[in-house]
Structure 1
Amino acid sequence: MTETLGSAIGSAIVTGGTSGIGLAIARGLVARGFTVVATGRTRPAEPLGEGIHYIEVDHADPAAAEAVLAGWEAVRKARGIGPLAALVNNVGRRHNDLISELDHESLLETLALNVVSHMLLTRRLAPLLGEAHGAIVNISSRLAVVGMPGVSGYAASKGAMNAFTVAAAVELAPLGVRVNAVAPGMTKTPLIEAWLAEQPDPAAAEAEVSGRVPLARLATPGDIAGAAVFLASPESGYITGAILPADGGYTVS
């Protein structure tokens, strides 16, 4: 039977879940009935909201997967939260360099955080997710399939996540674990809002980038959260291996 909205359906882990898209996803999952454990490198200054428990994790650390598991287990013991039913691999970093400027060390850092950390966390948590017939949602990007100067390192990392998503969907299906991805377009996160504010005419800059989108606006974190929560929830129980664009029609135009 499909769970009713708002009913408790277990716990979820959202990496990088303390701001921007990650926090919107965490709050959306709580509204759907999950209890959420959100990871971050530093404790947020403001409360994350009811139903969201923070654990400090640096996902660039090779031991991050063990730290996430230990943190989730500590919250479960202290708070009595339900079994692990969803993992959202959201944490990542931008990599804005032209090909002529690419640096070996910086590229390795990007791939380690944007790809390898998610793969290792998936490996560690897949058995727990299998017990609950849970779901994994990877946060990708439109830039995995749309060319743009200056983002080749970032685009390559997101392309790798798309490939991992479809491979993991097939491999983990016998465990009852679904694996999908959301590919956001440009989203009004604090990072993008700061970039707009730096432009000579912020309103004109936003109008220019919005004009490339068929729906004629930038995404909000809530737009991306809606797609991620759907893929994490029982309503999408027969969907696996999908890369869902949440880009206002950008990639199809």
Structure 2
Amino acid sequence: MAQVSFWGVQHGLGVTSNTAAIAALIGLEYDLRTLISQPQWSDSTLERSFHRTINQYNRQFIDVSGSGMDALERAVRSNKLERETVKNHALLIERNRLDLLSGTEKSDKLRFESSNDVLEIIFDKAQDYYDMLLLDVHSGVNSPVILNTLANSDLVVVCLNQNINVLEKYFEEEDRIWPEALDKVPHILLIGQYDHDSKYKIRNIANKYKYKGKIASIPYNTSFRDHVNDGDVKGFFVKNRFVPKHHKNYMFMQEVRKVSELILTEIGINAKTKYMEGRAL
């Protein structure tokens, strides 16, 4: 029962695609009940990443109003939020293992920000049913929802890339974008869209900024990006789950597996006992 938040210092760092990749992998390979969501105003990019699966499994459900975060807010305000209420308002991605809670449809940012306390109640109650919450949090620090969600997390995955300007925004004291939550909440760094041929390898980044914490990476992969754009993230992982070592997508799959195992370990889940190697999809 843990809340993991994916967060970046600015937009364009692949926070959503990182969240989607790790969620899809965990949903396919681990015996865990996982919920993913994007607690952001006016953004449904995470949901669009799984569009094909959502349409396949939830055709009747998504045509009915009253699902997602807004419906749960009404349940909170009417004191009707129970253990399985979140599950009943989520969209199926992988049966019994991965659900997606769609975001708000509020057209007013201030109205969404005012629901900060309600979101905390929703995510807290979700942990009564799910083993893990993976949240795609808005980048930056200019929202109470961002700061509160990070502060209530058990782990923050800080998403960066190999761009020196991005790295300096996180590491350099003068330009640093640093939520206070990171002073208290355990966090790891995730270098997305990673280029193994760049001089800014993980080892060199750690040495340059004298960073002693844990860093992982997810390499850039053209096929994965195409599947994100096509709304078929789950389809990518189903197709490539058992590819051999010489396959062009093998390295990407292995790196996502490493990051997923690291995250599970950091929140106290024994990845080896929960892994479902060889089971039918």
TM-score normalised to the size of structure 1? 0.44
TM-score normalised to the size of structure 2? 0.40
The structure showing larger relative contact order (alpha-carbon pairs under 8 Å, at least 6 residues apart) is: 2
